[in-house]
A and B are shown apart, each in its own frame.
Chain A
Amino acid sequence: MNRTASICAAVQVVVVVAGAPLLVGLMRQVRARLEGRAGAGISQPWRDLRKLLRRAPATPTGTGWAFRLAPLLLVGTSLVLAAVVPLLTTASPLNHTADLFAVVGLLALGTVTLALAALDTGTAFGGMGASREMTILALVEPTILVAVLALSARVGSTNLAEIVTTTLNDPLRVASPASLLAAAALLIVVVAETGRLPVDNPATHLELTMIHEAMILEYAGSDLALVELAASMRLTILLGLLTSLFLPWGIAGASLAALPLALAAFGVKVAILGIGLGAAEVFIAKLRLFRVPELLAGSFVLAVLAVASSFFLA
């Protein structure tokens, strides 16, 4: 039992690592098609990573261990998240290691290492990116935790596996206002955390408008490859987490037999979410940095309403 469970977890990690760049490629492809372009194909991010891994990393003068360590730690935390979050299986042996709060904390840890690395370079753009990223991180936290409250209050536990199994057991809860509102709130959070439009524009070339890009301006070669890989992994994990929390059907327990189905379901769900996000990004423009708090306040209200409505019904 435990061995199969750990095999499932390992498969999950492998799937996330291999699939994350494809997800990014898919989103870019969708965007390209909607803009009337042909697009580079969904495997382009993998080509970029392969090439970057072959190129020499650079150590700018005056940077230290924070700069060197950040890409590794970023990937490390993302790998741990990929093992902990129930994407393919609810029976990961690490289930009791980290709950939803710990997952949020690990995500923040990754962001913080990158921000420290950006400050470590001592360039104006690095500091700017770090400051903006930290501001958004601070404002996002309340929404996440209140949404977590809305999700876990009924379950009596913040362990992800238990929340997912509870949802599996009575599907009607998914359609309840509480969970719909929580889903909306968390979607906004995911967009903000992964630096997509309208909070941050991953394709910008103008340093003054950057948030995430500004922090990694100094990375080159394999370091950059790690950062890019980690970013795409975080996106995949967060989207997968959304699907597991709100549309958990098809997810496997501790059995290898159910794994292919779970894999297919996971792929389809995340791909659909990714296509939706990619398409939405064609229609919306980036918000001014100081309009972002409005968006996050809105998501916070959604989360509070989720909690409140879970009382209304209780």
Chain B
Amino acid sequence: MNVIGWALAGAGVLAGLGVLAAVVAPRRTRPAYVGAATAGIGVAGLVMGVAALSGQAFQARLPGLLPLAGVRIEVDPLGGWFLAVTGGVLAAAALYGIGYAGGGHGPSGRGVQAALPVFAISMLLVPAAASVSTLLVWWELMALTSLLLILAEHRGRPAVAQAGWWYAALTQVGFVAILLGLLLYAAHAGGDSFADLRAAHLSPALRGVVFVLVLAGFGAKAGLVPLHVWLPRAHAEAPSPVSAMLSAAMVNLGVYGVVRVGFDLLGGGSRWWWVLVLAFGAISALYGILQAAVAADVKRLLAYSTVENMGLVFLSLGAAGIFRAAGAPVLAGLALAAALLHVLNHAAFKALLFTAAGSVLRATGTRDLDALGGLRSRMPATTVLFAIGALCAAALPPGNGFVSEWLLLQSLVHALPAGGVVTAVAMPLAVAVVALTAGLAVATFVKALGVGFFARARSEAAGAAQESPPMMLAAMGVLAAVCAGLALAPAALGPALSRAVTAATRAPAGVVGGGVSLRLAGIASTLSPLLIAVAVVVATAGTAVLLRLAARRVTRRRSVALWACGAGPPTARMQYTAASFAQPLQRVFDDVLAPETDVDVTPYAESQYLVARVAYQARVSDRVEDALYVPVIAAARRLGRLGPVLANGSVHRYLAYGFFGVTGLLLVLAVTR
């Protein structure tokens, strides 16, 4: 029983205590206790992950805990990577949640509070599961508790209930897919522990079926288009600390599932799987960021950006699989490392962004960018923190998002020698997709920061906003520090990353290394984010000093009224809004987004040429949803109408169903025998 074991046990105990506190503690102090317990669970997860990444291993079997198969726990570097990410996010988000709940904000009901620690530990147990049944149990537990958390505020807003429905439906569909896939796999493997699965020899067709089913299931959790529709709803409507946990931690487990099954258990498999993954990743990245670019609700924007980032991760996974199938293990290792690193980076900055957005929501009561603005002066700390997150999310140097996208691009750009028509055609397209995604991400987060936080307040609520309590700021500060560390010293992660990659693909270790500057295996490109950041800071400061010296005699900086072409000072309503900022992009991508705009002009009664009022409405709905889901739902409705016909309440009819059922079954048996 080593560190990992103790940490796991501690997490279990803390979860129990958390549930207990949620039940017995008075409403006022309940969130503090539960939050503390959850944070403790997160720390435990972090410890487990770091220990696993530093080379420790842990295995356990608890036959009694589950009927039939029993529980198998095993923590390897791959699982450790996700444990560390999840644990870190949980700890920070839970601390933030304690502060968030102060002053009666956020949910404090018994059920919700009790669900929180259970959700936390189930997220830790999923990457630690070492058998199909164990994995499925924790997975379902995670799904149910997360559903409870999403529905926390359903009394307040009807949209929450709707989001809950979507989430419940899609997550259950996903679960069924995973269930089918893994049970099929286990049935042919003759055992449900991962060791048995690794050893199993399946026919290629069967392996393909298993992989597609599993991809669909885990893809739904990771918000892969077209299974993403629940994500922008649920992540936007959930309480902000929960949003951070969902968007920064839970989606990653979808990635974990695909890596575990696709690379580790199925051992790479054939190329078309990964072309599929690459294609869906590319589509998700582009579609997600396009929707984010035109979104005016800040949390919806962040949720769509999660779809984008998961798309990028799956794109790198696809590339890794293709390289592996093409017999280029080093490149495969690089691409997979890029995927894992991006999971970590995305978790860091997305948690920061969601918590910052939560602070804004808490302070102003609105998520609508067009009603915000001017927070720079009202909430300076939150603005700076959001700016850091935005820099990272926009994948600009020096930000941590840039590092992982750099790694991904390196693996894509140098793939041409890896040969094969598929790589030759797919890689340039992949590079183009990544590039366009990055560009749109820049535009998106400039919009979020510039419209939401800078300039002048567009509503009284934004004008009267107050800075968040220190607890929340501390949690966000920790996340920002993590972002900075990841951005400036990514090479420090080299060994851990290599271990995780090796655990997943048995690729040669040491794909990523170097000290101050990042060095890659097999590629001569180097990057030193730290030096870049230092250089930029030094150059900027030097410029400022030189300017002081050069402009000594200058009459000092004078403050003036805004220039409005000679008209009076412009009002806050004359500012650019999120909608107007995104309008050119929306128009360029008209064919993809298909925005609905309607202008109705109401003239005066006297003359139709005198315009009394012009109303302009524009909304961008999710096209995938309209095209794919609305018909399905309609069909389900029609099917539902058959119900009354079959079940009209007469007892005789029900008994008759039973009778005919039994006799029919007997008949079938008699015939088939």
Contacts and interface: CB of A to CB of B under 8 A. Distances in A.
Given A112-B394, A149-B431, A222-B547, A99 B443 contact: no
A314 interface: yes
Given A60-B562, A80-B535, A314 B416 contact: yes
Given A64-B377, A79-B543, A96 B526 contact: yes
Contacts of A77: 536, 539
A7 interface: no
Nearest to A68: B557
Contacts of A115: 446, 450
A197 B583 CA distance: 23
Contacts of A222: 547, 550-551, 554
Interface stretch (B167-175, B310-318, B432-440, B473-481): B432-440
Contact of A83 (B402, B517, B535, B553): B535
Given A115-B446, A127-B580, A94 B531 contact: yes
B608 interface: no
Contacts, number: 264
B525 A159 contact: yes
Interface in B505-548: 517, 523-528, 531-532, 535-537, 539-544, 547
Contact of A121 (B373, B438, B539, B562): B562
Contacts of B198: none
Given A112-B442, A119-B446, A141-B438, A146 B576 contact: no
Interface in B429-475: 431-432, 434-436, 438-440, 442-443, 446-447, 449-451, 454-456
Contact of A101 (B406, B541, B553, B569): B406
Contacts of B456: 62, 122
Given A105-B397, A124-B574, A131-B580, A99 B446 contact: no
B524 A156 contact: yes
A61 B428 contact: no
A73 B455 CA distance: 19
B587 A290 contact: yes
Given A109-B397, A146-B432, A64 B559 contact: no
B588 A158 contact: no
Interface string A145-180: 110110011011111001000000000000000000
Interface stretch (A19-27, A37-45, A51-59, A249-257): A51-59
B588 A290 contact: yes
A108 B550 CA distance: 28
Interface stretch (B254-262, B407-415, B613-621, B638-646): B407-415
Contacts of A314: 416
B558 interface: yes
A307 to B, nearest CB: 5
A76 B397 contact: no
Given A58-B558, A98-B528, A226 B413 contact: no
A58 B560 contact: yes
Interface stretch (A132-140, A259-267, A279-287): A132-140
Interface string A270-314: 000000000000000000011001000000100010011011001
Contacts of B671: none
Interface string B199-236: 00000000000000000000000000000000000000
Given A54-B554, A134-B442, A138-B436, A122 B525 contact: no
B432 A145 contact: yes
B517 to A, nearest CB: 5
A224 interface: no
A102 interface: yes
Interface residues of B, number: 87
B563 interface: yes
A229 to B, nearest CB: 9
A200 interface: no
Most buried by B among A62, A101, A207: A62
Contact of B560 (A60, A112, A152, A207): A60
Contacts of B431: 142, 145-146, 149
Contacts of B559: 58-61
Contacts of A106: 397, 532, 536
A66 B554 contact: no
Nearest to B584: A135
Contacts of B572: 122
Which 6 interchain pairs have the tightest Cβ spacing? A127-B576, A119-B450, A122-B455, A76-B540, A141-B439, A138-B439
Interface of B: 293, 373-374, 376-377, 394-397, 402, 406, 409-410, 412-414, 416-417, 424, 427-428, 431-432, 434-436, 438-440, 442-443, 446-447, 449-451, 454-456, 517, 523-528, 531-532, 535-537, 539-544, 547, 550-551, 553-565, 569-570, 572, 574-576, 580-585, 587-588
Given A98-B532, A121-B455, A123-B563, 17 more contacts: A54-B553, A58-B559, A59-B558, A59-B560, A66-B454, A97-B532, A105-B402, A106-B536, A108-B439, A112-B446, A122-B455, A123-B570, A127-B576, A142-B435, A145-B434, A158-B413, A226-B543
